[in-house]
A = this chain, B = another copy of it.
Amino acid sequence: MTTAKGNAPEAPEGYDKHAFEPFAVTVDLAVFTVRAAVLQVLLIERGQEPYAGRWALPGGFVLPDESAETAARRELAEETGLSDVTGLHLEQLRTYSEPDRDPRMRVVSVAYAALLPDAPEPHGGGDAARAQWLPYDRLGPLAFDHDRILADAHERVGAKLEYTCLATAFCPPEFTLGELQQVYETVWGTVLDRPNFRRKVLATPGFVELIPGAARLTGGRGKPAALYRAGAAAALHPPLLRPSREGRPI
């Protein structure tokens, strides 16, 4: 880990025709999980100004020899306390660069969305700040422009459920079709017809594969459900569209 270099880099040859201003570059993480049919978001309570006491997305600086992707995965491991985050779905969302988005200084932030299959209680994190899962609904205003980042992340995740096999990233290694449907219903905030959902999922080759043994599982009453694991496919053809939304955002 390098220290802050005390002098600004001079614009090297080839850059001399432009103004040159160093920026701080950070990553912000929108980490989602589905627990008990509720979409949960990992948030950190800020301990100091600005926005002291408000909830914020976890994140931090990109280190000098890191890519943003590497920094995001490092922060994800730190904030969740998980030892292995290599299998988790992590996806770059977009970059937020409004000049006044951080009142302290000029910060450009690369936002990532991450999906977790279950929700381990978060580790304190490297910041010793309070990290906690909170339901996506019922969130007060977040710090900085994190409301918008989180809304963008939610929209992206919802859209990707339509045309990719991403939903399995919310599920444990072995899951029932009911649990998979629950993911769709929770993220989309809709109710789906169970036989039709089942027909669609099973008709998509490589989406899920049956665990062939009589392996079954019961969450309580009712007929035990067959267990599936994620398949090899990445995309859904044709897509599994959300029920009638007329004007969907781009």
Contacts and interface: CB of A to CB of B under 8 A. Distances in A.
Interface stretch (A17-25, A80-88, A114-122, A130-138): A17-25
Contacts of A212: none
A197 B4 CA distance: 56
A104 B1 CA distance: 9
Interface string A5-49: 111111111110111111111000000000000000000000011
A222 to B, nearest CB: 34
A97 B67 contact: yes
Contacts of A49: 13-14
A94 B92 contact: yes
A208 interface: no
Interface residues of A, number: 67
A245 to B, nearest CB: 8
A173 to B, nearest CB: 20
Contact of A99 (B65, B98, B250): B65
Given A5-B22, A19-B61, A166-B250, 9 more contacts: A14-B49, A19-B63, A62-B97, A66-B99, A67-B98, A92-B94, A234-B249, A234-B250, A235-B248
10 smallest A-B Cβ distances: which pairs?
A: A22-B22, A68-B97, A4-B20, A21-B64, A8-B8, A2-B106, A18-B61, A95-B95, A235-B248, A23-B25
